[in-house]
């Protein structure tokens, strides 16, 4: 009886802990939406979807913030994916065990680097050349998401049967053909890795706010730009009333974007493993 009671208690605790993350996400999303009700009631939907974000003028168009977020993330992926895929291919197919272990550790260390450190690097080396701009934000984001993509893509590549590579080499097809076959076989996992890496770009605030300029304009490569998250970090402390409620709405949009992209990435990864 004692063991049975302990088992039931353990099962109950495990179930409660397992349900805690989704409950927390739903509760957080509900809080954001509830806090955004003032903006949703007082600001017309057409205004919220407009291209002007100027709280001092009472304009709360989220379009430039959404486009700034999406554009910076997509452009960063266009830089990060080729570099990360090349590194992942080398580590998966050609590097020895010691080299792979050392490189994986270095990539993981770079991926875990605090955002403010990456932001300081961007302010020191990128901003003098590009100014506070979308270009600077893209380069900083690319540096931040490349390690994440490299590790996830490497895991997908290492799931490809070694016999596939050995057969290609035995047929004398060349290393480039062997690499292409591996990439084709792991394509869904690689796409999933890129999608999951994008979630870091979508949610990044500190480093981007240090280099982007934080002006709510429609994105221009060499012009200042604001994203949903940089606007939150820069404006929330002094915001009141409708302005603060609109920022909660921006936070809810960020959550929805990250949730959608993350679910898509997990789905692609599962397809790659099947």
Give helix then strand counts, H and E, for the chain.
14, 2
Residues belonging to the chain: 274
d(CA 182, CA 8): 47
Q: 5 falls in which pLDDT band (50, 70, 90)? A: low
Every domain of the chain and the residues it spans: 2-35, 45-273
Reduced to 3 states, what is the DSSP secondary structure of residue 225? Answer: strand
pLDDT at 141: 97
Bridge partners (DSSP) of residue 54 are: 59
pLDDT at 168: 72
Write down the architecture of domain 45-273 according to CATH: Orthogonal Bundle (1.10)
pLDDT at 4: 67
Q: 274 falls in which pLDDT band (50, 70, 90)? A: low
d(CA 40, CA 112): 37
pLDDT at 3: 56
- What single-letter DSSP state applies at residue 171? T
d(CA 65, CA 71): 10
User: What is the mean pLDDT of the segment spanning 215-229?
Assistant: 94
User: What is the mean pLDDT of the segment spanning 135-148?
Assistant: 96
Q: What percent of the chain has pLDDT over 70?
A: 96
pLDDT at 110: 92
Backbone φ and ψ for 273, nearest 5 degrees, come out as: -80, -20
Q: 238 falls in which pLDDT band (50, 70, 90)? A: confident
Nearby residues of 233 by Cβ (< 8 Å), 6 or more positions away: 205, 206, 209
User: What is the mean pLDDT of the segment spanning 161-180?
Assistant: 76
User: Would the pLDDT of 1 be above 50?
Assistant: no
User: What is the mean pLDDT of the segment spanning 157-178?
Assistant: 77
Reduced to 3 states, what is the DSSP secondary structure of residue 183? Answer: helix
User: What is the mean pLDDT of the segment spanning 20-32?
Assistant: 88
User: Would the pLDDT of 161 be above 50?
Assistant: yes
- pTM, whole model, 2 decimals? 0.89
């Amino acid at each position: 009886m004692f063991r049975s009671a302990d088992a039931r208690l353990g099962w109950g605790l495990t179930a409660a802990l397992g349900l805690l993350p989704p409950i927390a996400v739903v509760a957080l999303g509900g809080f954001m939406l509830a806090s955004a009700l003032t903006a949703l009631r007082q600001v017309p939907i057409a205004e919220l979807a407009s291209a002007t974000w100027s709280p001092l003028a009472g304009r709360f168009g989220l379009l430039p913030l959404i486009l700034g977020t999406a554009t910076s993330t997509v452009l960063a992926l266009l830089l990060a994916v080729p570099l990360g895929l090349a590194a992942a291919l080398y580590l998966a197919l050609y590097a020895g065990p010691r080299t792979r272990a050392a490189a994986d550790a270095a990539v993981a260390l770079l991926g875990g680097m605090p955002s403010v450190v990456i932001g300081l690097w961007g302010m020191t080396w990128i901003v003098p050349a590009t100014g506070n701009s979308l270009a600077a934000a893209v380069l900083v984001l690319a540096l931040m998401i490349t390690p994440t993509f490299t590790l996830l893509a490497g895991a997908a590549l290492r799931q490809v049967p070694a016999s596939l590579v050995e057969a290609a080499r035995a047929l004398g097809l060349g290393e480039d053909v062997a690499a292409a076959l591996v990439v084709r076989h792991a394509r869904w996992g690689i796409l999933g890795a890129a999608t999951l890496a994008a979630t870091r770009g979508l949610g990044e605030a500190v480093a981007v706010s240090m280099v982007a300029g934080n002006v709510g304009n429609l994105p221009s490569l060499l012009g200042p730009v604001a994203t949903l998250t940089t606007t939150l970090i820069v404006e929330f402390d002094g915001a009141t009333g409708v302005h603060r409620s609109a920022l909660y709405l921006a936070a809810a949009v960020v959550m929805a974007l990250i949730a959608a992209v993350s679910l898509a990435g997990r789905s692609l990864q599962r397809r790659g493993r099947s």
